[in-house]
């Protein structure tokens, strides 16, 4: 029996995961759910999925939730540490991290500390502190199961050969909302335009990251840590249809790809049922109907974020945490119309240039680089 804690159940991945868990039947249970502040949706989820415990970080949200669910037997935890308490619970044997941003790091480390099976949708924690997360997971014997579609594809494709036989991995990128938009007009685009993703339906932050291609920059670093890759073993190709979710190339030139329609239910279910596969309700792939798949080299002038991703993965140290933190602040500023779209990557690059990189960082070094970068971007935007 898998007793699952979904961290970030009110988000895009979290809601998909609840659907998947229901469709998997009685061996899988959404035993605990967490949210940052969305108490209304969390209350609906309690009524629909009957978890034993829920956690909500926001105090006021917690008060409203308790009021709304008075009489319900669910246990409600609130406050900063409530999510870690949920993760450490002895009844939980599987954790899905679907929180957005750096905020997922403490719960990720707690899950590893308590030797929980751990599926990672969240990528920012790995980008910031991948060295520490993977080292602690190795020591505790915890397998990190990727949910991000590209990394799930690589994880699945890698089983076609030995690690020592691998030549490189090729991450596919849809190109986001502005893949064909005139470059000289990108500084005028609005949050509404940027939030209109051509192939995937996702949370706001990752949709903006997809439009700048910062998402791919983060995914390069995510891949490095998940699969123990060197920077030069990671490539990116633009693939508009999002049918090939990523590929691996072996020494003999064989390229193994994982394909499917762009539906996050597929990688979520694979991580939950691994190492088994179960029938799923996702639509089957009809290649004849699709007709053609296209590929192109990424244009670094249109997508300077990708350059930053390769820089960060190459230099490593505290630089990826700086890139990630600066991006989180800049994306918020763009969504609040305090920064132009093209200002996001510009702000991130400026902060990366200013940063004195520290190699082999401790968790403290990473957290202080993260705070430093956030402050720098806030000041720059002001």
Give residues in contact with Mg ion (CB under 5 A): 148-150
State which of positions 274-313 bind ligand NAD (CB under 6 A): none
Is residue 327 within the footprint of ligand NAD (CB under 6 A)? no
CA separation, residue 374 to residues 148, 256, 326 (Å): 25, 39, 5
- 264 near ligand NAD, judged by CB under 6 A: yes
Task: Kindly state the smallest distance separating residue 360's Cβ from ligand NAD, in Å.
Answer: 25
Asked if residue 269 binds ligand NAD (CB under 6 A), the reply is: no
When CB distances are held under 5 to 8 angstroms depending on the partner's kind, the choice from ligand NAD, Mg ion, none that residue 150 binds is Mg ion
Q: How far is the CB of 160 from ligand NAD (least distance, A)?
A: 23
Q: Which does 361 bind (CB under 5 to 8 A by kind): ligand NAD, Mg ion, none?
A: none
179 contact choice in Mg ion, ligand NAD, none (CB below 5 to 8 Å, kind-dependent): none
Residue 30 lies near ligand NAD (rule: CB under 6 A): no
Residue number, nearest CB to Mg ion: 148
Residues from 200 through 239 that contact ligand NAD (CB under 6 A): 200, 202-206
127-186 positions binding ligand NAD, by CB under 6 A: 148
Site map for ligand NAD, 97-116, x if CB under 6 A?
A: -xxx--x-------------
C-alpha to C-alpha distance for 174 and 149, rounded to whole angstroms: 12
CB of 150 to Mg ion, least distance (A): 5
Q: Which residues bind ligand NAD (CB under 6 A)?
A: 8-14, 35-36, 38, 57, 83, 98-100, 103, 121-124, 148, 200, 202-206, 264
């Amino acid at each position: 029996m898998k007793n699952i804690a979904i961290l970030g159940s009110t988000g895009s991945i979290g809601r998909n995961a609840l659907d998947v868990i229901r469709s998997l039947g009685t061996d899988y249970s959404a035993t605990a759910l967490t949210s940052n502040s969305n108490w209304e949706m969390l209350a609906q989820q309690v009524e629909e999925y009957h978890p034993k415990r829920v956690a909500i970080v926001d105090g006021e949200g917690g008060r409203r939730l308790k009021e709304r669910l008075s009489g319900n037997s669910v246990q409600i935890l609130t406050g900063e540490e409530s999510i870690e308490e949920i993760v450490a619970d002895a009844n939980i044997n599987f954790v899905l991290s679907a929180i957005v941003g750096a905020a997922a790091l403490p719960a990720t480390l707690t899950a590893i500390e308590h030797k929980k099976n751990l599926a990672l949708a969240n990528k920012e924690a790995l980008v910031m502190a991948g060295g520490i997360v993977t080292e602690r997971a190795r020591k505790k014997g915890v397998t990190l199961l990727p949910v991000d579609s590209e990394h799930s594809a690589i994880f699945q494709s890698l089983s076609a050969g030995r690690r020592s036989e691998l030549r490189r991995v090729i991450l596919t990128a849809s190109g986001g909302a502005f893949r064909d938009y005139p470059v000289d007009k990108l500084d005028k685009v609005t949050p509404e335009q940027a939030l209109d993703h051509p192939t995937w339906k996702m949370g706001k932050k990752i949709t903006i990251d997809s439009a700048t291609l910062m998402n791919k920059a983060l995914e390069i670093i995510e891949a490095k840590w998940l699969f123990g890759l060197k920077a030069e073993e990671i490539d990116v190709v633009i693939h508009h249809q999002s049918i090939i979710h990523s590929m691996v190339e072996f020494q003999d030139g064989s390229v193994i790809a994982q394909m499917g329609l762009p539906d996050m239910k597929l990688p979520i279910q694979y991580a939950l049922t691994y190492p088994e596969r179960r029938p799923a309700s996702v639509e089957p792939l009809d290649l004849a109907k699709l007709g053609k798949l296209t590929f192109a080299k990424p244009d670094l002038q249109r997508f300077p974020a990708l350059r930053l991703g390769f820089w960060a993965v190459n230099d490593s140290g505290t630089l990826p945490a700086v890139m990630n933190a600066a991006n989180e602040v800049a994306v918020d500023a763009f969504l609040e119309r305090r920064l132009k779209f093209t200002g996001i990557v510009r702000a991130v690059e400026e902060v990366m240039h200013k940063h004195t990189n520290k190699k082999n960082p401790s968790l403290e070094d990473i957290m202080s680089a993260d705070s430093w970068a956030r402050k720098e971007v806030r000041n720059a935007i002001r």
